[in-house]
Amino acid sequence: MPPLPPNREWFHTATIYELYPSSFADSNSDGIGDIPGILRKIPYLEKLGVDAVWVAACYKSGGIDMGYDVENYREIDPQYGRVGDVETLVRELGRVGVRVIMDLVVNHTSSEHAWFKESRSGLTNSKRDWYIWRRGRTIDGIRHPPNNWASIFQGSAWEYDATTDEYYLRTFAKQQPDLNWENAEMRKAVYEDMKFWLEKGVAGFRMDVINLISKAEGFPDAPIVDEDRDEQFGGGLYCNGARVHAYLREMRREVLDRYAGSVAVGEVIITSSTDMVREFVCPERRELSMVYQYDLFDIDCGKTGKFSAREWKLGEFKGLIAKWQNALSYSNGGWATVWLESHDTGRSVTRFGDGTEANRFKVAKLLALLESTLGGTLFVYQGQELGLKALTTDVPIKDYPDVETQRTWDAIFRQRKTALPCNVEPDMTDVAEQVRIKARDHARTPLPWTSVSEAPHAGFSDTKGKTWSPMNTDSDVCNIAQQDSDPQSVLNFWRERIRIRKQCAETLVFGDFEAVPDTMNDGPVFAYWRKPLIDWTRKARGVHQKGDRDVLVVLNLTPSDDVTFEMPPIPDLAKHDGILPEYFALQALPLPNTLIRLAKYSYFFAYLRYITANIILSTLDAFYINKNKYVGAKAVATIDTTIGIEEEDEEEESKDK
């Protein structure tokens, strides 16, 4: 076995919780969450067991893209609080061992940022080159943008400015002009703004669309893939330009390395190549600590974008997980992020489950087990720990506040309308279906601290008016107060998974991923081993870490109730004294020819105990006791990892024993 890669950092074993400040907790009754609201909920974060919080963008902003159009990087938007509130948050969370990570949005600023106001004021202004300006093209006497790139938020990626008769690049909204990272003075200004927050004790940054800071040289036209549109999606032309790595190494050298332990989490979009992603995260390159990568979240996106449908198969889902677990494994010199939700995605229970209320919490636990048993740094997005789902259909799409949702809807509507008679409205049913699954709005709804019947707006705010975003209408069946007191809730399941992950970090965080080959197909079962990187000489001396054990995870990813899985061969069986399934009260099962029967969305999670120097590692407590039946020549273990078991199941189990 190769030697372990060096330089383990605090963030490797951390569980990081993303806070969306607008929707976490409102302290001043204005209907929007704020930093003082977060301060009031520190005991909740401490009890969850997280090691750091990532606070989504809360700088002074024009409000076009919920904080991601920054007017001033050194000010907090008044609706969220003050700089002093962030300092207090860093201090108070630090008292309970939780770090604070800030968002860093430096591919673009707001058009109201002082830098851009200077830049657009004249061709000779000293900050003109801080943004990307180009003259337009004239075709048949008509002015056109410099190239055919489409904005990610629809329309052209270029905005005409009459003051100087030039266009500026804006990959997102017109109020979000792209910074020109070719300009060294601009980069220095960004670095100084980063230092401002690091000096206040933040532990690092999550860097928004950071691979867009270097575009394709010369800004060539994008290939035409949609002949019905003037603008074409630029794909890789938007990102991963020739100097992106040089910029990140400079940022590391000039800023991050001067603050010990600083983490750099890069959001890397439109990048599916494992080799390209590895360049960002290999420790010796001194660029990013880890990246957010979107392959898994493009799996259901059709040819015309996020709000078009694509049928996907379970084999693809499993394959993408295996692809990134292996490519970015610790033993391979990489590092992965493990996440299924963020403020930029829909809710995972809606997207990856069957969408039924009956199976909602089963799916939430299944996905929690999946995520918490994969290698890398674990991220949990607020509300994910409750099993929050997408907005219910009684909320009209016109009330969705996200700029991406509204502009994409409008663009598709206009395009379809042009092909119809004036008195005929286009059919948007297919788009509406995708919006109700994938829109960012679903993840941004206010958090339900209690039920609506007990407190206005489910305890999120006591405003007399409306909250900034619609709330889901199911807080009576899904809220924090209810789940906190229920030992079998999704919330308490997540708390336990986070605890177990820390105990078994050598395996679950740093260990290798090995899929069980027979399950890497479109079938319902996904099974994999997690294997620790063990220093065998250390083990031979009888020195153990609690997590030094192989782990087998078996998941039924479907609502099918009659799924079986045959236990795979156990390698190096002499090194183990049995298999201890967490969900069979830790009783040993016969290893050969054991069939596991999995109920809908259920799971099997087992440790293999090593025997070395007469030391057997202790096992972890079980959450539930499930039915265990032996049928015929083969042992058949029936697993129903729902919410507890019924009394008759307990009686039946005692008879079997």
The DSSP code for 21 is H
Looking only at the bridges linking them, the beta strands covering 594-598 and 576-581 are unpaired
Angstrom distances, CA of residue 104 to CA of 74, 190, 259, 438, 577? 11, 10, 16, 24, 49
The helix/strand/coil state of 398 is helix
Count of CB atoms situated within 10 Å of the CB of 123 = 11
CB 449 within 8 A of CB 458: yes
DSSP 512-575: EEEE-GGGSSSSSEEEEEEE----HHHHHTT---TT-SEEEEEEE-SS-S-EEEEPPP-TTGGG
For 223, residues 6+ apart whose C-beta sits below 8 A from its C-beta are: 232
Q: Partners of 55 in the beta sheet?
A: 19, 102
51 is catalytic: no
Q: Which of 200, 198, 196, 192 is nearest to 262 (CA)?
A: 198
Could you tell me if 640 and 627 are in contact, meaning their C-beta atoms sit under 8 angstroms apart? yes
* Cα torsion 505, 508, 509, 513: sign: positive
Return phi, psi of residue 526, to 5°. -125, 115
Closest CA to 85 of 126, 33, 120, 137: 33
From the list 85, 267, 287, 341, the catalytic residue is: 267
Question: How would you classify the pairing of strands 52-55 and 99-104?
Answer: parallel
CA distances from 158 to 116, 217, 231, 337 (A): 15, 16, 10, 33
Catalytic residue (choose from 51, 65, 166, 208): 208
Phi, psi of 31 (to 5 degrees): 90, 0
Tokens of 221: 């036209």
> 649 catalytic, yes or no?
no
Q: How far is CA 592 from the centre of its chain?
A: 38
Q: Is the dihedral of CA 243, 244, 247, 252 positive or negative?
A: negative
Q: How far is CA 608 from the centre of its chain?
A: 30
- Torsion 478-483-487-491 (CA) sign: positive
Among left, alpha and beta (phi > 0; psi -120 to 50; other), residue 292 is beta
Can you tell me the distance from the alpha carbon of 240 to that of 243, in angstroms, rounded to the nearest whole number? 8
Which alpha helices (DSSP H) does 255-347 contain, by range?
274-281, 314-327
Residues recognised as catalytic:
208, 267
